[in-house]
Amino acid sequence: MRPTVIKYSIVIFVLLLFASGMASVLHIDAIEKEIQLFDAERFKSVQCTDEELSLFLDIAFNRKEQRIRKWESDIRVEIKNISELDSEAIAEVDSVIAILRPLILPLNIDRVDEGGNVYVYRGVDRAEPSRKPSRLFGVNGLAKINECTPLSREIRYAHIYDAKQAHTQTLMHEFEHVLGLEHPFRIYDYYLTIARSVIPQDYTAYGTWLQFQGMPYYISPQEKTAIRLLYSSGIRSGLKKEVLLEGLGMN
Ligand SMILES: [Zn+2]
């Protein structure tokens, strides 16, 4: 090959590389713009009190980026160790699903025998199989959702593990994580299933904690509304908190 031909080939190669890099940056920009389109009217059509809205603002955005993470397609729950479980342990999963179903409409959540996207392991002492198997040490349960990519913050699959000693409240708590909820940052004077600890930090919540901590499948009305707000079709996975606040005239 002549030196000039080699020179031109290199220049063309570099230009193509640059063009494809630019195209991918523009593509990510276009997707990001679409994600940040917040439909405030649609969001406001979900009835809520100021207290419920402030709970939503606390638990519906991931801590790292302050963005929404949620499912955008139907949820299929598959119990991976179903052959080791008694009918009651299976029925408990069905009960949690039945409680959550009306909260995430128009999406659906169902239990399936195969082809799931939420894998449940009940009564286990290790969180495996997973890339980083970890012992369920000092915790009653664990939920893991898929990582984000630059193009998507959608939740597409998840794993739930609960320990032998766990109650249905642990199962409900882990399912709330799977829907995209985080532990609250603030202190509340009512019992929250998604709270980090079953022991309320606020002494005034002690009464409600005693009342609800042993109640199977309990989920507070405020949390139910926070989930309904999260699954409003007015917001998409990846929406930034600042965009939502601006759209609601709150900053
Ligand atoms: Zn948790």
Nearest to 65 by CA among 150, 156, 179, 131: 150
Q: Where are the domains of the chain?
A: 1-35, 36-247
Determine the pLDDT at residue 215.
Answer: 78
Determine the pLDDT at residue 127.
Answer: 75
Say how many Å lie between the CA of residue 35 and the centre of ligand 1: 27
Say how many Å lie between the CA of residue 143 and the centre of ligand 1: 7
Determine the pLDDT at residue 181.
Answer: 97
| pLDDT > 90: percent of the chain | 59
Say how many Å lie between the CA of residue 197 and the centre of ligand 1: 8
39's CB contacts (< 8 A; 6+ apart) are 233, 234, 235
75 sits in which H/E element: strand 75-79
Q: CATH code for 36-247? A: 3.40.390.10
Determine the pLDDT at residue 89.
Answer: 95
Say how many Å lie between the CA of residue 221 and the centre of ligand 1: 19
Determine the pLDDT at residue 203.
Answer: 56
Determine the pLDDT at residue 110.
Answer: 98
Say how many Å lie between the CA of residue 28 and the centre of ligand 1: 31
145 pairs with which residues across the strands? Answer: 158
Mean pLDDT by 10 residues, the chain (251 residues): 77 78 76 91 95 96 94 97 95 97 97 97 78 62 90 94 87 96 89 73 62 80 97 96 94 78
To the nearest 10°, report the CA torsion of 218, 122, 77, 160.
Answer: 80
